[in-house]
Structure 1
Amino acid sequence: MVEPTAREVTVPSGSLAVRTWSAAAPRWIALLAHGYGEHSGRYQWVAQQLVGAGAFVCAPDHVGHGNSPGERVLFSDADDVVADLDAVRREISAEHPGLPVVLIGHSLGGMLATRYAQLHQDELAAVVLSAPVLGTWHALDLLEAEEIPETPIDPATLSRDPQVGRDYADDPLVWHGAFKRTTLAAIDECLTRINEGVTLRVPALWIHGEDDELVPEADTRTGIDRIRGYSFHEHIYPGGRHELFNETNKAEVMGDVLTFVGRELNT
């Protein structure tokens, strides 16, 4: 197993806890943006596959997530989280000059990756969006409630592999409480900015599970149709739930991702 290296990176919000994994002689950089309430430590298997394909993998914990400081799952402007992500990218790219960067974002991280690609297209060689929150998201209906109810994520919706749900429920670094109104409002505003923003020039791959109940494919597609660029590819997996990188067919999913990356990087 390829063990991660822990480090701190100074970013506009203060500092972030970052995990990195590296191939012996990396040929490209994979920058991972995790989803809401989780953390980069849940991407060990993903990182190992990327390292096996020649990547230097860098995965920060977003502000208020995992080992990073800040009130849990709280941010008031998603563009600030994107700015943190760019600061991490700049530091890693300076340490590995000349290596192309592929941004891989899952769920809320897919939203952040999309916004990042809109703002920093020239810094990326490609972007991979895994079950991204785009277009519309039913969780935002909570903004209409006077009081945000306790609505923890049902671990059974993550994967057809029940062990994934058990591990998620037992993970002390995962947030299991209610949504924060400020964060939901920031997500809502970010989706509006994405919908009104530029289409993607950078090559992009969208992957989504057909049976994703947390971020339904049909809702995401309304946003995808707004930002779809000249080189846009998609894979919708029958029976797949929300966390495709933790699904029972995760090897197939990762194979599709690495085929896309290899084609775009000519590796």
Structure 2
Amino acid sequence: MPHVREHVVKGTHGAIAVREWPRPAPRCLVLLVHGYGEHAGRYGELAAVLTGYGAAVYGPDHMGHGRSAGERVVIEDFEDVVTDLHAVADRARAAHPDLPLILVGHSMGGLIAARYAQRYTQEVSALILSGPVIGTWDLPGRLLALDEIPDTPVSPSALSRDPAVGAAYAADPLVWHGPMKRPTLEAFVRTLETVARGGAAGELPLLWLHGDDDRLVPLPGSRAGVERLSGGRLTEQIFTGARHEVFHETTKERAHTAVIRFLDAVLPH
């Protein structure tokens, strides 16, 4: 694994903890945008693949997640998370000016990355979405209809067919293992609508990766959102039998290869 540096960036609601996986003389910058309840530190293996390719990689913990400030898993407005992510991008660009910027967003991070691409289209060179919360996602509405949000955490077995992934997730003290919070669910609903209204993110090259056995963020719901966001430069790879986390699946090498091939195709040589 590559060496990891740690930074703190001033966020909209407090300190944002950022991991940097450095690369001498990088050819591009990558922002890793993690999902709900987790943290950027779970993506060290993907970061190693990307630094091996030639990227300097930065991964913030969103507000209320990981080592960042805020009430656990409470996000009242995803626009603030996008603003925080932009501050991290500014930090990366200050260290490495004039390099293409690629966003890799997983699950909730896919929603954040999609909205970032809409707000800052001219600053992004490519977008990679893994099991993204985009398009139609019924879970927030179902939970908000209840008088009380059930204390049902994410099942580790829903993440990957590799039992070691679930075991590590269950034992990770930086992962949230409690119920979803009502303000965050409400913010999901609003931001799904905002991204849908925002339309295509220009002609941005987009790679979409999804497991066809994803029960947390079902593939059909994401498809409409991904196709609406794409300006026609869409590459997709659907992994048969894979669950929610294709970068932690038993076929993760295929996901890594898809990412590298995509970057080779869209970045200048």
| TM-based fold match above 0.5 | yes
* CA–CA separation in structure 2 for the residues paired with 1:225 and 1:233: 10
CA offset at residue 214 of structure 1?
Answer: 0.6
Q: How does 1:33-44 map to 2 (within 5 A)?
A: 33-44=33-44
Contact 2:14 2:70 in 1 (8 A): no
* CA–CA separation in structure 1 for the residues paired with 2:229 and 2:43: 27
Whether 1:188 aligns to 2:189 is yes
Counterpart position of 2:239 = 237
* CA–CA separation in structure 2 for the residues paired with 1:227 and 1:40: 24
* CA–CA separation in structure 2 for the residues paired with 1:3 and 1:167: 21
CA offset at residue 226 of structure 1?
Answer: 2.2
Q: How does 1:91-170 map to 2 (within 5 A)?
A: 91-140=91-140, 141-170=142-171
Specify the SS of the correspondent of 1:59: strand
Contact 1:158 1:241 in 2 (8 A): yes
Counterpart position of 2:69 = 69
Counterpart position of 1:200 = 201
Runs of 4 or more off by more than 3 Å in structure 1?
Answer: none
* CA–CA separation in structure 1 for the residues paired with 2:220 and 2:55: 32
Question: Given the alignment, which residue of 202, 223, 226 partners 1:224?
Answer: 226
CA offset at residue 222 of structure 1?
Answer: 2.5
CA offset at residue 230 of structure 1?
Answer: 2.1
- Structure 2 residues without counterparts, runs of 5 or longer: none
Contact 1:11 1:88 in 2 (8 A): no
* CA–CA separation in structure 2 for the residues paired with 1:76 and 1:11: 14
Whether 1:23 aligns to 2:16 is no
Aligned pairs, number: 267
Whether 1:260 aligns to 2:259 is no
- Structure 1 residues without counterparts, runs of 5 or longer: none
What is the TM-score of this pair, normalised by structure 2? Answer: 0.97
Letter in structure 2 aligned against 1:255: T
Specify the SS of the correspondent of 2:98: coil
Whether 1:79 aligns to 2:79 is yes
RMSD value over aligned CA atoms?
A: 0.9
* Percent of residue pairs bearing the same amino acid type: 48
Specify the SS of the correspondent of 1:175: coil
Counterpart position of 1:214 = 216
CA offset at residue 200 of structure 1?
Answer: 2.0
* CA–CA separation in structure 2 for the residues paired with 1:24 and 1:119: 30
Specify the SS of the correspondent of 1:98: coil
